[in-house]
Structure 1
Amino acid sequence: MGVDELLDQAGNLKEALVDYASSPGFARRLSQALSDFSGLGSAAHDQWAEAVESLLYDPDQDGREPLLDRYLRTNKTIAPEERLVYEGWRERNVIGVFRVDARKGARLSLHNLIDEMDYPAYATVGAEAISVVQRGGYVMTRLVPIGDIWTISGTIRLFGPRDLPGVKTLAASLLKRFPTLVFNNPANVEQGRRIVGEHHTTFLNLFGAHIVSGTGADIIAAYRGFLNACNQASVAGDSEASALVTAAEQIAPDDSFPPDLAESDDVALYHHPQMGVSFLVCYGQVEGAYRTPPADAEDPAAELLRGYVEDKTVPGYVLEDLAAKYPDTVDAAYQAALSNPGFRWELDGAALLRRHRPNSGPGKDVPGVSPVPSSLIDEYRRLS
């Protein structure tokens, strides 16, 4: 297809998604999304459009899947070629704050301040709709791919060249809300992995193992000690940088930890060499279920094990780690917890994890630490 045909197709496919997201069945989710965007200073219509965009592409506050995922899963009548486009939008949509380097007709040359990549992007609604976009100015928008081009999805928030200080604040705020945005750039993925690897070494040196257990208070203190150790390692030999380091109590204040963690007597701090830190409430009891399998599905230990399997905040590699630690009893543990006497971890474990964590696993997981672009570091620190 030529560019014009691709833009027409993108416009039609997007219209179908907007109709889906704004249908009565999602009114409550749309209302919640609208409240999330009400304080961002944009006009009411733009807030509505931004809320619809967020519903389509981002998980909601309760962790429910983006509506685009649901649309693809439940709509069996999508033509194969259209499904491929939608899948590209799901996997590669890019929300960002962009510098406008050029405008020609319906085409914009954009540089993303967050992932530091360049995007040639087209407006599906035509050149006239973007005639007010200034070269040297800035826009906040979302881009989606079709064919070999990018198209603008949803609204464009405009900023002039003199708005750069506020634009940086907006970009840093967006990155703070969605830390994985930097990983659109493969170089940032590699940098994130390097940083997490260094942190893993720090963790092992500090605690002697990749996991440490205790009460909630113990683990909060351990985590803050780990943060301080990482900060000290990052500025070693640089006295000027040392003066800018933020204390762990400021990075992780008391109110940043959920009450169930802070008040629990059974919490683990787990560090993965690529994914970073996880907090695991009731970890010791779940490990006990692996060590001594529960009697049946009604056993409280079985309920805890099922909870870990179903809880998407518990990384799959934690369950894999426990299975490897207790190879002689893992099958019996899951047979009881799942009421499935034929379950075998070696044969069925991977499928179980895929079912409960479809967006995680090899090739999908990103590092647990997001590098911040140098141009946004000051604003990001201020927001922290």
Structure 2
Amino acid sequence: MGIKDVVATGTVMVGGIVPVGDEWMISGKPMAYSAEDADAVLAGVRDLQLKSPDLVFRNPDKLAQGRRLQAEQRASFIDLFGSDLIVVPGDEVKERMLAFYQHAYERAGSKGGPWTRPDLPDFPFTADEQVAIIFDEEDGLGFYRDFDLAQEVFAEPALVIRQQYREVVTAYLRGEDVTPVPLRRLAAQDPGKAGEVFRRLLKKKDFSWERDGEALLRKHKPDWFASPRLPRVIPI
């Protein structure tokens, strides 16, 4: 007798499952709720998924689905903006993101999405800061403040002696919530100048980005390198 023989259609079951080889099995004692209680029981599932995506992606099918969805959304971003990196004033970030969401959803065949919600919160950026929106192939979608200043100092490394430029580069390097993506993108434009930026910033005369850059990122962002990157797009 299988579980479908004892559980009515529409019943919601809450419990644990664990991988056993290539299969999954129920762990512990699950609880069953009637279809009428489904909305109340599942109300917190989405919040749990967002807070603990690693639990979702323990399921290899969900992991594959998340990667596929993220790749599709990145393609939509590039289709709309012409690149996977754009730099916009902080007060335009929300407008650009709503346009992106609409474009991505409509390319996927949906006519409804987050751009139709009047209660969407604003992004925490101001009009006087330039924000890079990068949809990286590996790391997904990210937002990086003061990217214009970072671009300037990587184009003219001598600027790093000025406080505002030094603080931006330091924040990108040492910030716990900043991924390696912006520094990698900036350095890729001219690795020689990137090396000069960090020779001046770190006071290391022999620093070379091509030789030492990856080790520097690993030193300051160990958690990012500790495990494979999970998709930022979480399947519902």
Q: Does the alignment reach a TM-score above 0.5?
A: yes
Whether the 8 Å contact between 1:297 and 1:303 is mirrored in structure 2 is no
Taking the aligned partners of 1:296 and 1:272, their CA distance within structure 2 comes to: 26
> What's the C-alpha RMSD, in Å, of the aligned pairs?
2.7
SS at match of 2:43: helix
Q: Residues 223-238 of structure 1: matches in 2 within 5 Å?
A: 223-235=97-109
Greater shift after overlay, 220-229 or 288-297?
288-297
Whether the 8 Å contact between 2:101 and 2:113 is mirrored in structure 1 is no
Taking the aligned partners of 2:17 and 2:145, their CA distance within structure 1 comes to: 42
Structure 1 residues 292, 314: closer, same or farther in 2, change over 3 A? same
The CA deviation string for residues 81-115 of structure 1, in whole angstroms up to 9 with x for no partner, is xxxxxxxxxxxxxxxx9734xxxxxxxxx338xxx
Identify which of 146, 156, 161 aligns with 2:33. Answer: 161
Q: Tell me by how many angstroms 1:333 deviates.
A: 0.4
Q: Residues 260-271 of structure 1: matches in 2 within 5 Å?
A: 261-271=125-135
Q: Name stretches of at least 5 consecutive residues in structure 1 with no aligned partner.
A: 1-96, 101-109, 123-134, 138-159, 236-240, 373-384
Q: Tell me by how many angstroms 1:232 deviates.
A: 0.7
| Bigger relative contact order, structure 1 or 2 (CA pairs below 8 A, ≥6 apart) | 2
Q: Tell me by how many angstroms 1:169 deviates.
A: 1.6
Taking the aligned partners of 1:252 and 1:343, their CA distance within structure 2 comes to: 49
Percent identical pairs in the alignment equals 23
Partner of 1:370: 234
Whether the 8 Å contact between 1:296 and 1:339 is mirrored in structure 2 is no
Taking the aligned partners of 2:201 and 2:167, their CA distance within structure 1 comes to: 7
Partner of 2:66: 192
Q: Tell me by how many angstroms 1:204 deviates.
A: 1.2
Taking the aligned partners of 1:357 and 1:300, their CA distance within structure 2 comes to: 22
Q: Tell me by how many angstroms 1:335 deviates.
A: 1.1
Partner of 1:326: 190
Q: Name stretches of at least 5 consecutive residues in structure 2 with no aligned partner.
A: 1-11
Structure 1 position 257 matched with structure 2 position 134: no
Whether the 8 Å contact between 2:89 and 2:129 is mirrored in structure 1 is yes
Q: Tell me by how many angstroms 1:250 deviates.
A: 2.5
Partner of 2:115: 248
The CA deviation string for residues 129-164 of structure 1, in whole angstroms up to 9 with x for no partner, is xxxxxx551xxxxxxxxxxxxxxxxxxxxxx53565
Q: How many aligned residue pairs are there?
A: 219
Whether the 8 Å contact between 1:214 and 1:267 is mirrored in structure 2 is yes
Q: Tell me by how many angstroms 1:119 deviates.
A: 5.0
Q: Residues 138-153 of structure 1: matches in 2 within 5 Å?
A: none
Structure 1 residues 296, 290: closer, same or farther in 2, change over 3 A? closer
Q: Tell me by how many angstroms 1:179 deviates.
A: 3.4
Identify which of 276, 289, 294 aligns with 2:158. Answer: 294
Partner of 1:5: none
Q: Tell me by how many angstroms 1:295 deviates.
A: 5.2
AA at the equivalent of 1:360: W
Q: TM-score, normalised by structure 2?
A: 0.80
Taking the aligned partners of 1:369 and 1:290, their CA distance within structure 2 comes to: 31
SS at match of 2:61: helix
The CA deviation string for residues 301-332 of structure 1, in whole angstroms up to 9 with x for no partner, is 12210111112332212211211112220110
Partner of 2:172: 308
